């Protein structure tokens, strides 16, 4: 077994991985960016190394810096978590070349599943059912039109070959929508994956998203840990996941488990992985395979009792899986709600800010995986998912009640989260009946009804007594140390950036988060680029009307009117950069 492992990630997943490492008696090494100097994952690790400034390409995605930290620390292996470098075959190969074990699948398996057309071709050959469509790229709209007329028919899904998770996914209900959908999918493929290649699938009208958790070792053993249902999504971002899936019978469960195992076997898989698929009218179709541990792995852990991350680490060290398929049992029901710093009542606008107060739920059957605490700053630089609330109980109904209880216990101040959204959604008949809730999530009036009062502004100034004991974080040659300085408080009493020991600084509330500027001003909740402006100066708008779309972190964020009125001023134009707190419009 390894004696030291570097965790090449941040936030809740970095802490989740460290928990398993600690239980296994393995030393932990963190990497962190400048804004994450005082982050929980940075402080929790035995050692921590600065890898660069905030933007991920200069820190968490910088392969050389991560490998340099691994070498400096003497870590024998790297766990990539999810996101960042987790599905980067070049990184997996670079680790190997540096003599460091990549805790994940072989680089060739990442490559095979990374190209969605290649994955479809491989799966078809292996006898795994795929959504009917092409396994070859489709070069032009004319080619697409011909293939659709001859075989697939409408409605049709057009997907980017380099895509996944819904990026570069468009639908054409009829021929007149084809060209726009084709160009949209190709354009997004180019933008996100530098690959405009697209392929076609029959569009299934109302499928469920059902995925299979897999674990494979290097001795030829592959087991599945049953399925998760992740049908509650918005813009392909999963919001709620559960296991078992409400629409899956024991017979179907056994069948799709085998499908997952066949898929993993076909690419020589090792480690934890997930086969994502669509379930429609009892038929199951392979969509793609995620070659990493997923955000929602926890629901499977709760429903089976298996520590997926521990198994991942064990098999990376060459050990065989600790159990057989027959020993994996599914018990009760687990549900996960993603706690994102987003405002569902404002079209899921990002809601960065400082957590002025924070208290997590607990009690029977409750698990919280988080990367924050009171005082943490949620920066728009990274993913808005700050925590996951997972519950277990004997069945779906009991688990739902337990989730509602736990959501009610959750205290978050200083920023908005999806807690009000989850509380409302889990109380609907649609959820109770096991529906996908697609119409609800798109229902603007319903979402707007979730609005809660503006979060209390952060406490002004530092009310604490002058400290005679101060904590500093110092970096010596890029390695982080916590230092306690005992002595007289400095004049003025304000302790310098004491790590986490201070009240959060006063912070101006921003638009999107509530108060900010005058009540007529609409301020940008985030920094990014204005993609489109949907209104003209002088226009009359309803509350909730789309004003503009801002791209940040490659995500499109719809900015909507905070009130009804006339657009008296418009401070944005397409293509322009915009800062957080900048004025978008004045609506009177």
Residue 521 DSSP SS3: strand
Least spacing, CB of residue 284 vs ligand MV4, in Å: 12
CA neighbor of 224 nearest in space, from 285, 303, 111:
303
Least spacing, CB of residue 203 vs ligand MV4, in Å: 4
276 or 393, CB closer to ligand MV4? 276
28 or 231, CB closer to ligand MV4? 231
Least spacing, CB of residue 185 vs ligand MV4, in Å: 12
Whether 273 contacts 291, CB under 8 Å:
yes
Least spacing, CB of residue 209 vs ligand MV4, in Å: 4
Residue 498 Cα distances to 357, 466, 471, 576, angstroms? 18, 12, 5, 38
Least spacing, CB of residue 24 vs ligand MV4, in Å: 33
175 or 568, CB closer to ligand MV4? 175
Q: Where are the beta strands (DSSP E) in 419-572?
A: 469-476, 479-486, 521-523, 528-533, 540-541, 546-552, 555-560, 565-570
Least spacing, CB of residue 200 vs ligand MV4, in Å: 9
Round to whole Å and give the CA distance between 517 and 566. Answer: 17
Round to whole Å and give the CA distance between 256 and 431. Answer: 24
Round to whole Å and give the CA distance between 325 and 145. Answer: 45
79 or 202, CB closer to ligand MV4? 202
Least spacing, CB of residue 83 vs ligand MV4, in Å: 16
H/E stretch holding 315 reads helix 308-316
358 or 431, CB closer to ligand MV4? 431
Whether 144 contacts 182, CB under 8 Å:
yes
Whether 188 contacts 551, CB under 8 Å:
no
Round to whole Å and give the CA distance between 503 and 140. Answer: 58
Cα angle 14-93-216, degrees, rounded to a multiple of 5:
65
Report residue 551 as tokens. 């791209």
Residue whose pair of structure tokens reads 């852990």 in the numeric block: 301
Round to whole Å and give the CA distance between 512 and 352. Answer: 10
Distance, C-alpha 403 to centroid of its chain: 20
Round to whole Å and give the CA distance between 44 and 162. Answer: 36
Give me the residues that bind ligand MV4 (CB under 6 A), please. 131, 157, 165-166, 169, 201-204, 207-209, 231, 233, 236, 278, 436
Least spacing, CB of residue 58 vs ligand MV4, in Å: 29
Identify the bridge partners of residue 377 per DSSP, sorted by sequence position: 354
35 or 165, CB closer to ligand MV4? 165
Report residue 107 as tokens. 């680089």
207 or 375, CB closer to ligand MV4? 207
Residue 69 Cα distances to 149, 235, 381, angstroms? 55, 36, 22
Least spacing, CB of residue 211 vs ligand MV4, in Å: 10
The single-letter DSSP state of residue 42 is H
59 or 291, CB closer to ligand MV4? 291
Least spacing, CB of residue 490 vs ligand MV4, in Å: 53
Q: Where are the beta strands (DSSP E) in 404-539?
A: 411-413, 469-476, 479-486, 521-523, 528-533
Most distant CA pair in the chain, distance: 82
396 or 402, CB closer to ligand MV4? 396
131 or 337, CB closer to ligand MV4? 131
Whether 496 contacts 487, CB under 8 Å:
no
152 or 313, CB closer to ligand MV4? 152
Least spacing, CB of residue 166 vs ligand MV4, in Å: 4
Least spacing, CB of residue 278 vs ligand MV4, in Å: 6
205 or 487, CB closer to ligand MV4? 205
Burial class (CB in 10 A: 0-12, 13-18, 19+), 420: middle
Residue whose pair of structure tokens reads 């396994």 in the numeric block: 135
2 or 203, CB closer to ligand MV4? 203
Least spacing, CB of residue 155 vs ligand MV4, in Å: 8
């Amino acid at each position: 077994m390894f004696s030291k492992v570097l965790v090449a990630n941040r936030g809740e997943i970095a802490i989740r991985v460290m928990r398993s490492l600690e239980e296994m008696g393995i030393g932990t090494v963190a990497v962190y960016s400048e804004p994450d100097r005082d982050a929980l994952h940075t402080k929790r690790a035995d050692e921590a190394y600065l890898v660069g400034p905030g933007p991920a390409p200069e820190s968490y995605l910088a392969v050389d810096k991560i490998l340099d930290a691994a070498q400096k620390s003497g870590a024998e292996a790297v766990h990539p978590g999810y996101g960042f470098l987790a599905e980067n075959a070049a990184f997996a190969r670079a680790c190997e070349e540096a003599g460091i074990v990549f805790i994940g699948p072989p680089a060739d398996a990442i490559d095979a599943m990374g190209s969605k057309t290649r994955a479809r071709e491989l799966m078809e050959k292996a006898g795994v059912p795929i959504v009917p469509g092409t396994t070859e790229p489709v070069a032009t709209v004319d080619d697409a039109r011909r293939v659709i007329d001859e075989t697939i028919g409408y409605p049709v899904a057009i997907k980017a070959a380099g895509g996944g998770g819904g990026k570069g996914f468009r639908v054409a209900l009829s021929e007149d929508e084809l060209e726009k959908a084709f160009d949209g999918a190709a354009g997004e493929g180019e933008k996100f994956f530098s690959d405009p290649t697209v392929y076609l699938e029959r569009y299934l009208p109302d499928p469920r998203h059902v995925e299979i958790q897999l674990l494979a070792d290097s001795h030829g053993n592959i087991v599945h840990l049953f399925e998760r249902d992740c049908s509650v999504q918005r813009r392909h971002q999963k919001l709620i996941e559960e296991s078992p899936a409400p629409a899956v019978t024991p017979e179907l469960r056994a069948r799709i488990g085998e499908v997952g195992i066949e898929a993993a076997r076909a690419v020589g898989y090792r480690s934890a992985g997930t086969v994502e698929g669509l379930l429609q009218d009892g038929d199951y179709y392979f969509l793609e395979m995620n070659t990493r541990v997923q955000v929602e792995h926890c629901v499977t852990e709760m429903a089976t009792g298996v520590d997926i991350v521990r198994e991942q680490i064990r098999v990376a060290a060459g050990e065989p899986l600790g159990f057989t398929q027959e020993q994996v049992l599914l018990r009760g029901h687990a549900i996960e709600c993603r706690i994102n710093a987003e405002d569902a009542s404002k079209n899921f606008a990002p809601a960065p800010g400082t957590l002025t107060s924070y208290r997590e739920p607990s009690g029977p059957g409750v698990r919280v995986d988080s990367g924050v605490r009171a005082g943490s700053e949620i920066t728009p630089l990274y993913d808005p998912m700050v925590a996951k609330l997972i519950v277990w109980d004997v069945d779906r109904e009991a688990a739902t009640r337990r989730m509602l209880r736990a959501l009610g216990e959750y205290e978050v101040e200083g920023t908005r989260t999806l807690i009000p959204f989850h509380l409302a959604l889990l109380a609907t008949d649609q959820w109770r009946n096991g529906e996908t809730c697609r119409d609800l999530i798109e229902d603007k009036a319903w979402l707007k009804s979730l609005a809660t009062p503006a979060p209390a502004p952060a406490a002004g100034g530092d009310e604490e007594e002058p400290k005679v004991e101060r904590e500093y974080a110092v970096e010596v040659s890029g390695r982080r140390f916590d230092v306690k300085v005992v002595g007289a408080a400095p004049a003025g009493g304000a302790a310098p950036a004491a790590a986490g020991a201070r009240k959060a600084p006063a912070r101006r509330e921003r638009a999107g988060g509530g108060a900010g500027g005058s009540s007529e001003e609409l301020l940008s909740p985030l920094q990014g680029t204005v993609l489109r402006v949907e209104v003209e100066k002088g226009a009359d708008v309803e509350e909730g009307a789309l004003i503009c779309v801002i791209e940040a972190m490659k995500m499109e964020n719809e900015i909507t009117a905070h009130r009804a009125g006339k657009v008296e001023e418009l401070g944005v134009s397409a293509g322009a950069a915009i800062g957080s707190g900048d004025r978008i419009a004045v609506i009177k």
